[in-house]
Amino acid sequence: MELRHLRYFLAVADTHNFTQAAARCYVAQSALSQQVARLEKDVGAPLFSRTSRSVRLTAAGELLEPLARRILADVDNAQAALDALAGLRRGTLRLGLVQTMAVSFDIVEVAAEYRARYPGIDLQVSNASSSRMAAEVLAGTLDVAVVGLHSGQVPEGLEYRVLGSAPLVLVVPHDHALADREAVGLADLPESHPLIQFTRGSGLRHQVEAAFDRAGMAAGQHFEVGQILDMLRLAARGLGVTVVPRSSVVGPGSVLGLDTADDLPRGARMLRLTDDEAVHHICAVYDGTRLAPAAAAFLDVLEHHGTDASADRSA
C-alpha cells in the first residue's frame, strides 16, 4: 500500500468521480484508475461501487476512508516535525476559525504575528461550524481550531485551551414589546417570537438553544443565517429577534465596529439576559498526541496574546 494510492482513493471519495479525481491529482484518469485498482487488490476488497451515473464507497471503502485521512495527516505531521529541526522554516498550518469571537484580543493580529515569526509556514484557514471543525481536528485534517464550545462540548480525544467568553444578549427591533427593558429572560418573549438563528452545528447555536431550554421555551426559527452581521441587520429591520454574543455587537471585535449599543442600526436594542449561564465560550482545540510543531508554535502565540489581554484588563 503506497501513500499515493491513498491520496488517489481519497480524491475519488471526495469527488465521487474518477475524472475529477484525476484532475485534482494531476494524473491521467487511466493511471488513477489503475492505482485505485491496485489498492483494491492490496486490501482484498472493492472500495467503490461504480455505475454509469455514480461512484460510491463500499463498506470497505467507508472503513478505509477515515484511516486513510489519519495516515496522510500523520505523514504531514511527521514532515512538519522534521521541518522543525530547521527552525520552522517551512511547513503548513491548517487552522479552523469560528466566526463568532468572544475574546478580548484580535485573532487577526495573532495570525499576523505568527506569520511574521514564521514566514515560511503556509497558513490554510477555513471556516465552518464549531462541531465540524472539532471533528476535523480529531480526524487530522485540521491542526488547530478556534471554536465556540465550552469544555463539556469538546469531543473526547481533544485537548483545549480556554480563550475567552462573552455573555449572550437579545437584539430586538426598536418597536418590539421588550425594547424598553434593560434586561429580560427568554421566557419574557411573546409566544410567537420569530427567531433569527445562526448555522446548525455552531457553538453559538448550541449555547442559544441551551438557553431557551433553561427558560422552558421552544427556540423557534424563521431564519437560519451564516453571518452574524446579517443576523443583526435582519433583527434591526424587524424580521425577528436574535441572540448573539455581546462581543459581536459592541467592542473592538464586533462585526458592526460599534463602541456603544446606542449606535445599533435603525434604533435596534440590545438587551441583557437575566440567565447568567447564557454565555458564548471560545477555546482552541487540538490533538495533543499528534501536535505538529507549526501548530504548537501557533498555540504559543495565541497564549501570548491572551496573557497580554488579561494584563491590560487588570492594569
**With pLDDT > 90 as the criterion, what percentage of the chain qualifies?**
47
CA dihedral 15, 17, 19, 25 (to 10 degrees): 30
Per-chain mean pLDDT for the chain: 86
Least confident of 11-25, 145-159, 173-187, 300-314: 300-314
Which residues in 202-237 are b (16+ Cβ under 10 Å) and which e?
bbbbbbbbbbbeebebebeeebebeebeebbbbbbe
Q: Does domain 3-70 have CATH number 1.10.10.10?
A: yes
- Write the pLDDT tens digit of every residue in 191-241: 778 999 998 888 889 899 999 999 998 887 778 998 888 999 999 999 999
Q: Name which CATH class applies to 166-280.
A: alpha beta
- Type of residue at 258: L
- Write the pLDDT tens digit of every residue in 265-291: 888 999 999 999 999 988 999 999 888
Interval 171-187 mean pLDDT: 94
Residue 227 confidence (pLDDT) = 87
**Parts of the chain belonging to CATH 1.10.10.10:** 3-70
Can you point out the beta strands (E) in 55-157?
55-57, 91-97, 121-126, 144-147
State if pTM tops 0.95: no
Can you point out the beta strands (E) in 47-143?
48-50, 55-57, 91-97, 121-126
Residue 2 confidence (pLDDT) = 85
In terms of CATH, what superfamily is 79-163+281-314? Answer: Periplasmic binding protein-like II (3.40.190.10)
Band (307; pLDDT cuts 50, 70, 90): low
Indicate if the pLDDT at residue 309 is higher than 60: no
CA distance 177 to 222: 19
Which cell numbers in the block locate residue 222?
A: 424563521
Interval 130-157 mean pLDDT: 91
**Parts of the chain belonging to CATH 3.40.190.10:** 79-163+281-314, 166-280
- Write the pLDDT tens digit of every residue in 84-122: 555 566 778 999 988 766 565 677 788 889 988 888 888
